[in-house]
Each structure stands twice: as C-alpha cells, then as structure tokens.
Amino acid sequence: MQTSAWVVANRPAAPTGATRLAAVIGSPVRHSLSPAIHNAAFAHSGADWTYVALEVAPGRGAQAVEAMRTLDIGGLSVTMPHKAEVAQAVDVPSRSVQALGACNCVYWDGDALHGDNTDGDGFIASFEEESGVSVAGRRLTVLGGGGAARAIIEALGRSGAEGIHVWSRSEKTAETAAEIAEQAFSGPIEQVSDSSILINATPIGMSGGPNPHEIPLPADLIDQHLIVHDIVYEPRETPLLATARQRGAIAIGGVGMLVHQAARQFSHWTGLPAPTTVMRQAVLNGK
C-alpha cells in the first residue's frame, strides 16, 4: 500500500463522547512517536480510543497517576523522568516493575491501576521474531547498564537465558545491572566471544546522541557467529549494524523493540491483540 493510502486507512476517527483517552507522559515528550504508533493501532482495530502526548514536569509523575484516576484516563505510557516515581504510585506493580523500580505502562484492571514495564518483553518478542532464535539456553552479552539494559537483562533472566554477560564503560554500573538476573554477571568486553547474541542497549550510534558515528565495542570482537541486535532505532542502520553486516554477523535494528513494547501496552489497555504490522508501518512512515 502506498504511504498516502496507508495514512488515510489508518487515520484516527473523530473522538466521541465515549472515546477513551491514553497518553504518554514525560519531559520532554513532544517528539514522541507513540501517538502515531498507537493512533494507527486504534484506527486499524476499530477501537474508540485516542492517544496524545502530555508534557509532565519532573517530580509530578505521581500526580499524573492521580489525574488518571480523577479523569478516568484509559492508559498511560511513561517515559523519562517519571518511570521510578510512577512505579511507586500504581496499585499493583508487575514482577518486572518490582525488580526494576521502573514503570512504563499503567492500565486498569477493575478498579486498580496496574503498572508494567514492557521494554524487556518487547525486546525479546522483537529479537525472536526477527532472528527466529529463542533466547532460552543462550549466552548473551548486553552492552549498557541504564534503564533499557536493565529491563532487557530482567526479561532475559525470566526467559531462561543460560548466561548474561553485562558490560558498561562504568564497571560499577555493569555490576549493579547484573544483579537483576541470577544468570547475569559483569566482565570485560572481551567476554563477548563467549556469547552468541550481542545486544547494544547504549545510546552509542543514535542520531542526535553524543556518539552518533561510533560503535560501542571494538569491531574485531564482532564475528560471523554473532547475532547483533541494536535497540537504537534512529537511524535505522546504525554504525554497529553496518559493522556487523560487514563482518558477516546477523544484524537486527531497534524498530521491532519499539513496536513490540508498544504492542504490549495497547493490549493492556484495550484487551485486543495489537496490530504490530500497522504499528511498525507508523514508525517507518515517521508520522
């Protein structure tokens, strides 16, 4: 389908008095792709929902959760800097939220507000869909120790990974992140040679970031036996992905994780299966 026809077919319907509202809260948040992703999914699914971006000042995440109760908002996506505060404000945190102390999705179940962190499971769904390989029983290396890396490590631990090698430029950061999963351990970057899967969960290579033209490890540590998954999605072809392809490795970009973490949020809110193909197209269209 041509892009213009796709946009028309997935244009959100005009809101009605019965329309449910979902929103992403963060600061800054106006650049978010989430409204395009979720509004396309709502339109495609025939769900009478609409989605907006709400700028919420730092320190007011808990107030946003209370506003959700007051205004009967149907669902929230949560981004920086509110994930930790919202994790404390929900009624029922998921296992992932409890482990990570960070929540990126709030949804209703009866009269209770539940919190989840969909990043890790979104990563695994993306990886397994695009690689055709299960993470269970595998040895992996995760680069980074921030929020995304921690979510991925936690989900890998639940999914039966055999070993999770964690490396960060800060040894302490790596050690702390490795505490999240029983199978995880920190160690020198050279230990990537023991892994069959390499995951970049750092911002290195991201457009607009501090290191847009760099890769997060020496190129000679990447060989053809590796599957390399870079969670950076802008640009679509990061320097790491280009290097991995040049060296004969399988390379997977970050759009799939963005889509699948959003898909889990969509299903939490609506109870419907998420139209991931439509959501992916919304990202690629950049609308």
Catalytic residue among 20, 38, 83, 138: 83
Q: Active site includes 83?
A: yes
d(CA 147, CA 36): 24
End-to-end CA distance of the chain: 16
Task: State which amino acid sits at residue 178.
Answer: A
d(CA 210, CA 218): 18
φ/ψ of 94, rounded to 5, equals: -70, 170
Task: State which amino acid sits at residue 121.
Answer: D
Cα–Cα separations (whole angstroms), residue 71 to 64, 93, 204: 10, 21, 39
d(CA 275, CA 267): 10
d(CA 232, CA 192): 19
Question: Catalytic positions, please?
Answer: 83
